[in-house]
Structure 1
Amino acid sequence: MSRIAKLLLVFTSLSPATGALAIIEFQAGRPVTALVLIGSALLLIAICYLIKIYPEKYGERRLLDVAAVKSTDKEALAFIIAYLVPILTGKIPNVSEPQYWAITAYVFAVIGLTVYHSNAFHFNPVLAAFGYHFYEVTADNGMTYLLIARHVVRVQTPEVWVTKLSDYVYLEVKSDEHSSGNIKDE
C-alpha cells in the first residue's frame, strides 16, 4: 500500500483547494461546477478517512522507539497560502475555459509531484481536521520519519505503536497482540 497511500495522501492534502475553487464558482454564478468541485472535495475527504482507517485496522503494528521529536504542525501556513492564491487573484476565472483547467492541472501537478517526491507530508489539512498532529521523529536507529499521531508525542514517552504508510511516513495506532517488533530491528 506504500505508493498508493503516498499518492492518496498527496491528493487528499490538496482537497481544500477544491473548496476554494468551489467558492469562486459560486461567486461567479456557476453552481453546477461548484457542486462538482464540492463533490470532489468530499470524495477526497472520504478517501483520506479510509487511508486512516485501513492501516489502523489491517496494518502491521510496530513499536517506534523515538529518540527525538519535532512538531511540524506549524508548516500548515504554506498550505493555507496555497489555498488562498486562487481567491486572492481578484479575478474570478471562468472554469469552463480550457486554459483555466490547463493552468490549474499544471499547478496541482507541480505541487503534487513536489510533495510526493520530497516526502513533504508535514501537513494534511484533512487529517488535521480528524484531530491528527504531524511530527518529525528520529528513531533510535537514527532514521528520520514523519509520524502522524492523534496524541501529543514527547520524548518523555519514547515508544509509539505505529503502522507504515510509506517508506518514511508512519501512522500512530493502538497496540495489540498482532504487533511484530521494533522499527529499529529493520
Structure 2
Amino acid sequence: MSDFSVSRQVAGLARTPEERAALTLTARSRDSACTFCRYDTPDNTVVFLDDNPLNTGADNLALACPACLARRELDTVGADAGVMVWLPALNPGDVSHLQRAIAHALNADDETCREDAERVLGWLTSHDSPVRARWGTTHPQAFGSALQQLTAEQHDQVQGQFRHMALILHPARAVNTLATSGIEALPRWWSALYRDYCARS
C-alpha cells in the first residue's frame, strides 16, 4: 500500500524551527531510521502518522527521510521537482533508496557512473505514461490537491488505487541527502533491482 499524503495546515498553528526540532528529537529517541524506508540519516524529520500535526503524542511521531517526506507532503512537490510514475514491482522504500543512489552517482567523478545514473533515472521516469493515461496528469501537486478534497473514507479508497504509483523526484531534491553507504550507494545494485523488476512484471 502506498503512503501518499499531504501536508496539513492548521489555522493558528505555526511551529518555530526549535519546536519542530524538539518533536524530531522525541521521534528520534525511539528510532532514528525513516519509518517508511528504514534509511538512517541526520536529515530525517518528524512526521505525524495520522497526518494530524496537533497530535503530538509520542506514539504518533515518526521520522521520514527527505525522499519519503515528499510522498507524505505530495502537495508541496511542484511539476519541476517530481513526477508520478507506475512501478508495480517496486515498493516505496526501494524507490527512495534508488533515488538516493542516482543522486549520489550523478555527482560521481566517474563519467560512466554518471551515464548509468542518467539511464536509470530515465528508466524510472519513463513509467509516467500509465499514470497519465489513467489520471490525465503526472503532476504531484495535482494528486496532492485531489487528496486534500477527500474525506477520510475516500482517502483510504483512493490509496488503494494509488498502490502501484511512485513519486520520482528531481535529483537536486536529494543532493544534500546522498546515499554514501549501504547497498543503495552501489551502482551494481541497480542491475539486480532491474532484473528483479522484469522477473516480477
* Structure with more relative contact order (C-alpha pairs < 8 Å, separation 6 or more): 1
TM above 0.5: no
Which has the higher Rg, Structure 1 or Structure 2? 1
Name the structure where strand makes up a greater proportion of residues. 1
Q: TM-score, normalised by structure 2?
A: 0.26
User: How does the TM-score come out when normalised to structure 1?
Assistant: 0.28
